[in-house]
Structures are given as C-alpha cells and as structure tokens.
Structure 1
Amino acid sequence: MNYFLYALEHVYTDNTHRDRKFLGYFDDPDKAQKEKERLFLFRGFSDYPNDFYLKKVELNKINWQNGFTVVVGEMGRDYLTEDDFIHDYSTIIKKLSLETVFKVSHVYSIHTFLDDEREIGVFSDQKMATDVVDLLKQKDGFNNYPDDFIVSEILLNDKQWSSGFG
C-alpha cells in the first residue's frame, strides 16, 4: 500500500531573493488549512498570503536513488516534476496513526551564501530513514559529502512557526 501526507510550505519571491519556509507535515488537509489561517496573522506570511503551498508527499519514497552529479542550489527542493506524483490508489497516512515522521535531506555548502540541498524523502520510522542514508552514502555525489545528511523527526500536525518574518 502506498501512503502520502501533506506538506505545507510558504515560498515567496521579493526584489532580492526567493525564500522557502517549511511549515509542517499533516495527515489531514483541514488541519493544514487551519495552520495556514493561523499563520496569516503573522507579519511576513500576511504580506505574502498567496504564497502558501500544500502538496502531497509520498511516504517512504527515496527521491534521489541514483545520487547526483550537478549542483541544484538553494532551491534544489524544487527538482521533481512529473515523477513527483501520488498514485490514485495511495492512501492518506492518517490510517497509520503515526505521531511523527522522519524527514531525510542532504545539505552541503558550496560557498558562504549558497548551499546545495536535496530533500531525500519522508519516512515512517527512524530505522528506515537511517537505512536510506546508509544506502545513499555509497552513491555518486553523496559519497563526496557523507556527513551532510540530516534526519529530522517531525511531529505531525504540529506548529513549526510561532512568529512571523521580514
């Protein structure tokens, strides 16, 4: 069975840069909408009210299975196109009764103002997340930066932001 969850993000572009804020993972789109409405009250989010994005993310999917050979840069999170879809037969993770998920990413510094970042995937348990890291450490690109993986345990339906920005 394939499962998915919702990721809420805020991505905006102003005169000087593009910025992305991860706002949380949700097991219900209504909970994500309530979080979005709460964030409208904060400076920054209220300045860019149309820049919230709710997307489905497949659980336990490795997004960079073959490693990498080129730099994708700060917004390398936007790498997936037609491959990043959720099958019609997928089910929302709410049925799994998970309290947390484990996000795996890989970030290394190219120079002072630029990181190369890849979101590897979101996993249902820590062992699976660390097994993915161990596998990817052997792949092109990742093997040059084996200590730059980040495994984060993230509480579902949690408030990631308690203030505004800007």
Structure 2
Amino acid sequence: MEYFIYALNHTYTDDSHTDTKFLGFSNSLEDLEKLKAKAVLMSGFRDYPDCFVTDCYIMDKIHWNNGFEKVIGEIGRDYIEKGDEIDENCISVKELGLSTVFSVSHSYTIHTFLDDERYIGVFSTLKKVEKAIEELKNKPGFKDHQDDFIICELDLATLLWSSGFGSC
C-alpha cells in the first residue's frame, strides 16, 4: 500500500527572481487551508496571495534514485518540480495516524556562496530514512558527500514560517 501526504509551498516571481518557500506538510486539505490562512496574513505572502501551491508526495519514496553528476540550476538547488501522481491505490497518511514525518535533503558546500542541494523525499519513520540514505550513499554524487544528508522531523499541520518575508 502506498500513502501520500499533502505539502504547501509558496512560489512567487518578482522583478529579480523566483523563490519557493516550503510551508508545511499535512494529512488533510482542511489543515493545509488553515496553514495557508495563517501565512497569507504575513508580509510577502500577502503580497502574492495567489502563489500558494498544494502538492502531494508519496511517502517513503526516494526522488533521487540514480544519484547526480553535476550542480543543477544557477544557485545549486534542485527540487522536485511538482508533486507525485496519486492514483486510487494511494491513500492519505491520515490512515497511519502520524503526527510527524521526516523530510530528507542532501546539501554540500561548493564554495563560499554556493551550496548544491537536492530534496530526497518525505518518510514515515526514521528507520525508513536511514535505509534510504544507506541506499543513496553509493550512488554518483552522494558517495562523494556521504555525511551531507539532512533529516528534519516535522510536525504535521504546523506552519513552518513564523514571520513573512521581504519589506514590511
């Protein structure tokens, strides 16, 4: 059985760049709407109220199975462009009764002003995270930076931003 989780992002483009801010995970659209309602009151977010994006991600899925060979993008960040395809065989993590999930990324410093970062995925248990990291450690790119995986345990339905951005 595959499970999915909802994610809320805010992606906006201004005169100089495009920026994405990850706001949180939830096991229901209702909770995601509550997060959005809190965020849209903050500076920056309220300036771009139509830029909230809801995605779904399959739990315990590694998004970089083949490793990597070079820095991606102009600032070295490479994220999943959109959520996973969810079909009728995939059900919400709500069924698992989780209160937290584990978000995993990989980031290493190329030079003073440039990091190379990839989002690996979201996992239901620390044991599954550790297994995924062990699988990736021998893949191209990852094997040269085996100690640079970042694991964050995140509460569901919690807004990860406590203030806005940009000028107030």
Quote the residue 1:32 is aligned against.
32
Q: CA deviation at 1:80?
A: 6.1
Q: Does 1:78 align with 2:80?
A: yes
**Which amino acid letter does the alignment assign opposite residue 135 of structure 2?**
L
Quote the residue 2:116 is aligned against.
116
**Per-residue Cα deviation, 1:100-139 (whole angstroms, up to 9, x for no partner):** 1111111122333332221111110001101211221111
**Per-residue Cα deviation, 1:70-96 (whole angstroms, up to 9, x for no partner):** 222344103568xx3223210011010
**Per-residue Cα deviation, 1:57-81 (whole angstroms, up to 9, x for no partner):** 1001111111111222344103568
Q: Does 1:136 align with 2:116?
A: no
Q: CA deviation at 1:20?
A: 1.5
Change (3 A) 1:25 1:46: same
Q: Is the Cα–Cα contact under 8 Å of residues 99 and 156 in structure 1 kept in the other structure?
A: yes
Give the distance between the partners of 1:138 and 1:21, measured in 2 at CA: 30
Q: Is the Cα–Cα contact under 8 Å of residues 55 and 82 in structure 2 kept in the other structure?
A: no
Quote the residue 2:68 is aligned against.
68
Unaligned runs of 5+ in 1: none
**Which amino acid letter does the alignment assign opposite residue 62 of structure 1?**
I
Number of equivalences: 164
**Which amino acid letter does the alignment assign opposite residue 78 of structure 1?**
I
**Which deviates the most, 108-117 or 14-23?**
108-117
Q: Is the Cα–Cα contact under 8 Å of residues 39 and 159 in structure 2 kept in the other structure?
A: no
Give the distance between the partners of 2:113 and 2:135, measured in 1 at CA: 29
Q: Is the Cα–Cα contact under 8 Å of residues 130 and 151 in structure 1 kept in the other structure?
A: no
SS of structure 2 residue aligned to 1:134: helix
Quote the residue 1:44 is aligned against.
44
Give the distance between the partners of 1:127 and 1:15, measured in 2 at CA: 43
Quote the residue 1:106 is aligned against.
106
Unaligned runs of 5+ in 2: none
Give the distance between the partners of 1:108 and 1:127, measured in 2 at CA: 23
SS of structure 2 residue aligned to 1:104: strand
Quote the residue 2:165 is aligned against.
165
Percent sequence identity over aligned pairs = 47
Runs (4 or more) in structure 1 with deviation over 6 Å come to none
RMSD: 1.6
Give the distance between the partners of 1:80 and 1:142, measured in 2 at CA: 23
**Which amino acid letter does the alignment assign opposite residue 146 of structure 1?**
Q
Q: Is the Cα–Cα contact under 8 Å of residues 104 and 151 in structure 1 kept in the other structure?
A: yes
Give the distance between the partners of 1:75 and 1:149, measured in 2 at CA: 14
Q: 1:84-99 alignment to 2 at 5 Å?
A: 84-99=84-99
